[in-house]
Structure 1
């Protein structure tokens, strides 16, 4: 199956990043290269793009997508949370902009063997980086009932987390996504299954987040991204669910207003100074026409800040 990932909020991201010739930009989740291709069109000549991704299949696809810009980009197999180490290895001290698109690609969702989706039966996997050993199988079959409940409740915001965790533990071993879906359906009362999204959606999201440590790495990645930006450089983050967006919003707020002095204090004595200016008072969301063309974009939210 060919790697595909339609870039969401493309025009909005390009405007937020304010790309122009000569800039150095990091695409921390390069995917199939959709955003990166359009960024390169705006920063060349003289510009350079560093594309980072955990998925070797994504990097292979991006290499093909960007081949017309040979010599103007470098693709790296790494996690976006390691951006400092990546740039150091390339001899780059600071960059003009960075993009983080936190979405799962269409390829990852639809490639049966990757085990991301509850719509097809496949081995339990869900690894964004297939070279890592820890997978959904480990979470489902090795976590305690209490650990499973925590993951499903905190990362899936699932009201039936306790029952689902109990049913999973009592049904082990669970080898495939299809078996897991059946267990989840049995755990959720019939009346609740008739309402809202697919009954397995929240649990699958939660397990995927746990396998890939998506939320635990995000705060660090945002802080490190700001560290490597030049003054005036911009960071744009696209999130796809409320947990991600909440972290992005809170990190931008703390970086733009770090003062810990009492509100009634006449002068600041804590010495903490703002590091960024938030450019999006509200998140940027897709137009109705984009959602019609790409339904998976409907939950996307973009936030952007500029280093002071």
Structure 2
């Protein structure tokens, strides 16, 4: 395993889950299993733990399955996107509400997907414009670039990539695809170098970074799925259960922050002098804002550079 495959903030994740999982039979859902680094450590730390591992990438499931095989029947792996959590739990005999002790989400593209050039996630290497986390899905980055109208393409780049020059890039893509459809990432990177002003290239990082992020999010429907997955994950927690989410860009972190904050506040109407029964906070926030990796971890694990970790504990049953 390369340093890119080291689980991010592993010791912090273990510490946050410890009170919910220790010394008792417990169930944890790793909703983004990847290569199983966090899952392996959690299973090793808690001999009575049962793990449900989800991933949309069948290649990741196969590799993590090998890694976790030593834990035997305590591991249940499912090919699914994290917003399918309620149906996955139902299929395994668990209730969708109040039945699990922990949920872990390590969002974004996995190190394994970045490392395989043919998947097209990395702008540093010329590859087919694919970007599907699930290779069995239909939509690819090439299809987005070659078929979306300029206005829709600009919306994707602006909303998901926070790209200042979204319309300029979209118009350049539409003009270029009229001559020849896009098939490989190298040609797109060349276009982006030309479309993004030189002053922005000098100060704003690699000109392809934001566009590649936006295309990946669009192809995989990441934010829409996360928007459905967060309420489902929070509802699945029993009282005392904990959720830990690691995000890698501001759009994900913003959505996670809102989801946790909404359930961490009282629903008693303003002006009522006492807390109404059943209207108190459902969650207790376990982190002050978003936690980051320390300098040492960032130096040894490049994926930790942009991580933002948030965690919460369920303190009241989910509202009916």
Normalising TM by the smaller chain, what interval?
Answer: over 0.9
Scaled by the length of structure 2, the TM-score of the pair is 0.91
- Corresponding residue of 2:293: 286
- Would the aligned equivalents of 1:261 and 1:270 in 2 still touch at CA under 8 Å? no
What does residue range 195-234 of structure 1 map to in structure 2 within 5 Å? 195-234=203-242
Report the CA distance between 1:47 and its aligned residue. Answer: 2.0
Q: Does 1:136 align with 2:105?
A: no
Q: Which moved more, 1:14-23 or 1:80-89?
A: 14-23
Q: Does 1:69 align with 2:52?
A: no
- Corresponding residue of 1:5: 5
Report the CA distance between 1:113 and its aligned residue. Answer: 0.7
Q: Alignment partner for residue 255 of structure 1, among 247, 257, 263?
A: 263
- Would the aligned equivalents of 2:35 and 2:112 in 1 still touch at CA under 8 Å? no
List alignment gaps of at least 5 residues for structure 1: none
In structure 2, the CA distance between the partners of 1:209 and 1:258, relative to structure 1 (3 Å rule), is farther
In structure 2, the CA distance between the partners of 1:23 and 1:120, relative to structure 1 (3 Å rule), is same
- Corresponding residue of 2:36: 33
Report the CA distance between 1:5 and its aligned residue. Answer: 2.7
Q: Which moved more, 1:192-201 or 1:84-93?
A: 192-201
Q: Alignment partner for residue 163 of structure 2, among 118, 134, 158?
A: 158
Distance 2:138 2:281 in 1: 40
Scaled by the length of structure 1, the TM-score of the pair is 0.94
List alignment gaps of at least 5 residues for structure 2: 316-320
Distance 1:92 1:32 in 2: 24
Report the CA distance between 1:261 and its aligned residue. Answer: 3.4
Q: Alignment partner for residue 244 of structure 1, among 248, 252, 255?
A: 252
Which digits, 9 at most, give the CA deviation of each residue in 1:239-278, with x for residues without a partner?
001111111111111111263734x554678975422111
Find the residue that maps to 1:65 and give its secondary structure.
helix
- Corresponding residue of 1:84: 86
- Corresponding residue of 2:190: 182
Distance 1:106 1:13 in 2: 18
Q: Does 1:303 align with 2:313?
A: no
- Corresponding residue of 1:118: 123
- Corresponding residue of 2:318: none
Q: Which moved more, 1:266-275 or 1:81-90?
A: 266-275
Find the residue that maps to 2:33 and give its secondary structure.
coil
Query: Deviation above 6 Å: which 4+ runs of structure 1?
Result: 268-271
In structure 2, the CA distance between the partners of 1:153 and 1:32, relative to structure 1 (3 Å rule), is same
Find the residue that maps to 2:78 and give its secondary structure.
strand
Which digits, 9 at most, give the CA deviation of each residue in 1:102-143, with x for residues without a partner?
032222112111011111111111001111011111211111
**Number of aligned residues:** 306
- Would the aligned equivalents of 1:55 and 1:128 in 2 still touch at CA under 8 Å? yes
Which digits, 9 at most, give the CA deviation of each residue in 1:1-37, with x for residues without a partner?
99x7321000001111123242111100110010000
Report the CA distance between 1:43 and its aligned residue. Answer: 2.1
Distance 1:261 1:154 in 2: 34
